């Protein structure tokens, strides 16, 4: 068990470097209880013995000092000396013995405290023999110091002490085993978390590189085929012009793909903090951005104000609306002017925003697939688009803790519904 | 290049011959009294700006068009050096980059670039943008007097 609990930490040194050492906090939580019990016992009805003020104060001072030391060390597990955890229970035993001598309180109560020692060592993931060692020491204390009253165990003190010790040993070993497992799980989680963070950073780097280095050659292809057409276009025959046209449109498409991919990856890696955003303002701005293309398409957008303020990233929310509305315009019906309706309504703590159009629609069996990356329902020559726009929408909504759904009817139109959490 | 009368001296720091060509197209369209000088990397740019050694014939430039993606030290380093140089720090620098990454934009302004322009993908827009930069910096904006 010990091997498994230590191996993962040793095998992932890089992950360990990146992550601060775990704060066990075991003592943090258990110590106050332990000391409360000890003090409570000290104040239990004293039998015939008079209180020995000297011993009692030494014992209390010792316990208080140990409490303080343990608390400080527990905050910085890395600096806790290995021997300390091992020695600590013995010091505790001494303090308890003094406490008992000082007050003459009940013996079985002290013995109960004594039983905690092996668990203490077990919680700290020391070697198994150390857990057993402390248990044996406990046995010695119980058996030979007469810490257990005869009526607590069996009439034969030695046998009673042995029985108790075996039970405690088994239990503390079980605890030890469980702690070892939890630690190894913890170490693995930390390692995979560090790996995830690394891959996120790589992705961001990739996004940056594509924004910069991939755009440049594409820009060259596109610009120079345009310049070529401008200078030498009149000397080309129809076929020549068509071939150059393929070059230009191919580069254009590649460029759109790169920008969209970049945007998609940015939604996830953006570290911008959420702020209160008025949805009405976001929608108005998005429609403003779309102004020219709405006009070109002769589209009418009906946005009814009265949307709430939500906590979010204003730029991403604007992108969400732009993508959905431009989607409606792109897939407009050939025989009627596009009409887009934007409505919002409260459903419990959520706000549901619906964008409905009168476009070509789609079959509902595709309603989940259209959010997938690069998934397109139509040939690229029919309707432009890279197949990333709706994937970006889904990612934005999910990042804001909401969901997005689509519903379509071929020839009638599509409806996109997403939920967002309103502030207050 | 255009023959100077009351010449505006412009230094283009750019390693990509394609972009050099496109920028020249933009200036040819404008047909103003300006002269375009070319530095293919950051080191050459700094030498030309400081008129060192074999670049002693260079004029005092009125405007620098700076690409960020340069071999060697890179455009940001050039910008930093220009701003750290007492003689050059007032010189207007226009960053002309193919990157639209937020961090490039922010860093450029932090280093006191006078403006940041993303190179448009479309040839005609590119020419328009170069033309607009040229128009603004040579006719609208007042530049510090050459010394």
Best mutation target, A216, A226, A254, to test chain B (most B CBs within 10 A): A216
Return the pLDDT at B38: 92
Return the pLDDT at B64: 93
Span B95-128, pLDDT tens digits:
998 877 788 899 999 999 999 999 888 888 888 8
CA gap A188, A194 in Å, rounded: 10
Return the pLDDT at A124: 66
CA distance B99 to chain A (A): 5
**Is the pLDDT reported for residue B92 higher than 80?**
yes
Are A162 and A143 a contacting pair, CB within 8 Å? yes
Is the minimum CB–CB distance between B22 and chain A shorter than 8 Å? yes
| Domain range list for chain B | 8-138
CA distance A186 to chain B (A): 35
Return the pLDDT at A82: 61
Reported for A65-70, long-range contacts at CB under 8 A and 24+ positions apart, including other chains, are A66/A91, A66/A92, A66/A95, A67/A31, A67/A35, A70/A27, A70/A31
Is the minimum CB–CB distance between B46 and chain A shorter than 8 Å? no
Q: Least CB-CB distance to B22: which of A211, A215, A223?
A: A223
Is the minimum CB–CB distance between A219 and chain B shorter than 8 Å? yes
Q: Least CB-CB distance to A215: which of B22, B98, B122?
A: B98
Closest CA to A419 of A269, A307, A305: A307
DSSP β-bridge partners for residue A420 = A351
Closest CA to A225 of A251, A255, A259, A254: A251
Positions in chain A whose pLDDT score sits under 70: 1-51, 70, 73-90, 92-93, 96-97, 99-115, 124-126, 141-161, 211, 269-271, 375-384, 424
ipTM of the complex: 0.73
Could B121 and A226 be called an inter-chain contact, meaning their C-beta atoms sit closer than 8 Å? no
CA gap A360, A348 in Å, rounded: 32
Instruction: Give the lowest-confidence range in A128-142, B5-19, B41-55, B127-141.
Output: A128-142
CATH of domain B8-138: 3.40.50.2300
Could A212 and B22 be called an inter-chain contact, meaning their C-beta atoms sit closer than 8 Å? no
Q: How many CB atoms lie within 10 A of CB B126?
A: 23
| A194-to-A16, A198, A199, A204, B69 alpha-carbon distances in Å | 9, 6, 9, 15, 31
Residues from chain B that touch A219, judged by Cβ atoms under 8 A, are: 98, 119, 121
Residues from chain A that touch B126, judged by Cβ atoms under 8 A, are: 223
More confident residue, A96 or B73: B73
Burial degree of A372 (CB within 10 A; 0-12, 13-18, 19+) = middle
| A205-to-A142, A200, A202, A301, B77 alpha-carbon distances in Å | 64, 9, 5, 38, 20
Best mutation target, A211, A217, A223, to test chain B (most B CBs within 10 A): A223
- B-facing residues of A in 154-213 (CB < 8 A) are 208, 211-213
Is the minimum CB–CB distance between A223 and chain B shorter than 8 Å? yes
Is the minimum CB–CB distance between A255 and chain B shorter than 8 Å? yes
CA gap A140, A204 in Å, rounded: 62
> Which residues are CB-neighbours of A410 under 8 A, at least 6 positions away?
A360, A361, A362, A363
Residues from chain A that touch B100, judged by Cβ atoms under 8 A, are: 211
Give the 3-state secondary structure percentages of chain A, helix then strand then coil, rounded to 5. Answer: 65, 10, 25
Return the pLDDT at A108: 52
Phi-psi region of A298 (alpha: psi -120 to 50; beta: other; left: phi over 0): left
Q: How many CB atoms lie within 10 A of CB A287?
A: 19
Chain B residue whose CA is closest to A255: B121
Going by their DSSP bridges, the two strands B115-118 and B93-97 should be labelled as: parallel
| A217, A204, B102, B107 alpha-carbon torsion, rounded to 10° | -100
Confidence of residue B69 (pLDDT cuts 50, 70, 90): confident
CA gap A164, A170 in Å, rounded: 10
Residues from chain A that touch B103, judged by Cβ atoms under 8 A, are: 208
Q: Domains plus CATH for chain A?
A: 2-196 (no CATH), 273-421 (3.30.565.10)
Could A255 and B119 be called an inter-chain contact, meaning their C-beta atoms sit closer than 8 Å? no
Sequence-ordered strand ranges (E) for A146-240: none
3-state secondary structure of B91: coil
Return the pLDDT at A17: 38
Could A208 and B101 be called an inter-chain contact, meaning their C-beta atoms sit closer than 8 Å? yes
CA distance A248 to chain B (A): 10
Closest CA to A423 of A267, A315, A286, A307: A307
Is the minimum CB–CB distance between B144 and chain A shorter than 8 Å? no
Q: Least CB-CB distance to A226: which of B103, B119, B123?
A: B123
Instruction: For chains A and B, count residue pairs whose Cβ atoms are closer than 8 Å.
Output: 46
For A364, list phi and psi in degrees, rounded to 5: -60, -20
Could A211 and B100 be called an inter-chain contact, meaning their C-beta atoms sit closer than 8 Å? yes
| A68-to-A27, A45, A74, A99, A293 alpha-carbon distances in Å | 11, 27, 10, 18, 70
Q: Least CB-CB distance to B123: which of A212, A216, A222?
A: A222
Q: How many CB atoms lie within 10 A of CB A138?
A: 25
CA gap A288, B128 in Å, rounded: 23
Could A227 and B121 be called an inter-chain contact, meaning their C-beta atoms sit closer than 8 Å? no
Are A241 and A233 a contacting pair, CB within 8 Å? yes
Return the pLDDT at A163: 74
- A-facing residues of B in 64-123 (CB < 8 A) are 69, 97-101, 103-104, 119, 121-123
């Amino acid at each position: 068990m010990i091997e498994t609990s230590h191996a993962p930490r040793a095998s992932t040194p890089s992950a360990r470097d990146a992550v601060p050492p775990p704060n066990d906090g075991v003592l943090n939580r258990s110590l106050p209880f332990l000391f409360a019990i000890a003090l409570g016992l000290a104040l239990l009805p004293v039998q015939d013995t008079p209180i020995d003020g000297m011993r009692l104060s030494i014992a209390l001072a010792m316990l208080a000092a140990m409490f303080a030391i343990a608390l400080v060390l527990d905050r910085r597990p890395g600096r806790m000396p290995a021997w300390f955890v091992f020695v600590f229970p013995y010091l505790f035993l001494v303090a308890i013995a003094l406490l008992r001598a000082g007050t003459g309180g009940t013996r079985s109560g002290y013995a109960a405290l004594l039983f905690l020692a092996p668990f203490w060592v077990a919680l700290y993931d020391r070697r198994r023999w150390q857990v057993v060692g402390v248990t044996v020491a406990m046995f010695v204390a119980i058996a030979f110091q007469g810490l257990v009253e005869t009526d607590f165990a069996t009439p034969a003190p030695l046998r009673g002490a042995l029985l108790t010790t075996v039970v405690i040993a088994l239990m503390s070993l079980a605890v030890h085993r469980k702690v070892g497992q939890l630690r190894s799980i913890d170490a693995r989680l930390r390692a995979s978390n560090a790996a995830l963070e690394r891959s996120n950073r790589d992705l961001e780097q990739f996004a940056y590189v594509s924004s910069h280095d991939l755009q440049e050659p594409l820009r060259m292809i596109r610009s120079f085929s345009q310049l070529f057409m401008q200078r030498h276009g009149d000397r080309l025959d129809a076929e020549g012009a068509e071939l150059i046209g393929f070059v230009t449109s191919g580069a254009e498409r590649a460029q759109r793909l790169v920008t969209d991919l970049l945007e998609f990856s940015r939604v996830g890696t953006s570290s911008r903090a959420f702020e209160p955003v008025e949805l009405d303002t976001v929608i108005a701005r998005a429609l403003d951005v779309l102004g020219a293309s709405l006009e070109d398409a002769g589209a009418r957008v009906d946005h009814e104000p009265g949307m709430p303020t939500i906590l979010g990233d204003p730029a991403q929310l604007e992108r969400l609306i732009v993508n959905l509305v431009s989607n409606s315009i792109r897939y407009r019906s050939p025989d009627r002017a596009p009409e887009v309706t934007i409505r919002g309504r409260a459903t419990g703590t959520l706000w549901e925003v619906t964008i409905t159009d009168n476009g070509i629609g789609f079959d509902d069996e595709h309603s989940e697939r259209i959010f997938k990356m690069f998934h397109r329902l139509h040939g690229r020559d029919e309707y432009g688009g890279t197949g990333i726009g709706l994937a970006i929408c889904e990612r934005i909504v999910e990042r804001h803790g909401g969901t997005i759904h689509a519903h379509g009817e071929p020839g009638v139109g599509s409806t996109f519904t997403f939920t967002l959490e309103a502030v207050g | 290049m255009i023959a100077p009368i009351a010449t505006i001296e412009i230094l283009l720091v750019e390693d990509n011959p394609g972009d050099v060509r496109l920028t020249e197209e933009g200036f040819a369209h404008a047909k103003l009294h300006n002269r375009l000088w070319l530095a293919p990397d950051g080191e050459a740019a700094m030498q030309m700006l400081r008129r060192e050694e074999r670049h002693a014939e260079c004029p005092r430039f009125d405007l620098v068009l700076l690409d960020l993606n340069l071999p060697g030290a890179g455009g940001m380093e050039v910008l930093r050096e220009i701003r750290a140089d007492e003689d050059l720090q007032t010189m207007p620098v226009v960053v002309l980059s193919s990157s639209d990454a937020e961090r490039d934009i922010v860093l450029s302004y932090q280093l006191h670039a006078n403006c940041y322009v993303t190179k448009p993908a479309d040839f005609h827009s590119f020419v328009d943008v170069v033309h607009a930069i040229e128009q603004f910096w040579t006719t609208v904006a007042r530049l510090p007097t050459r010394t």
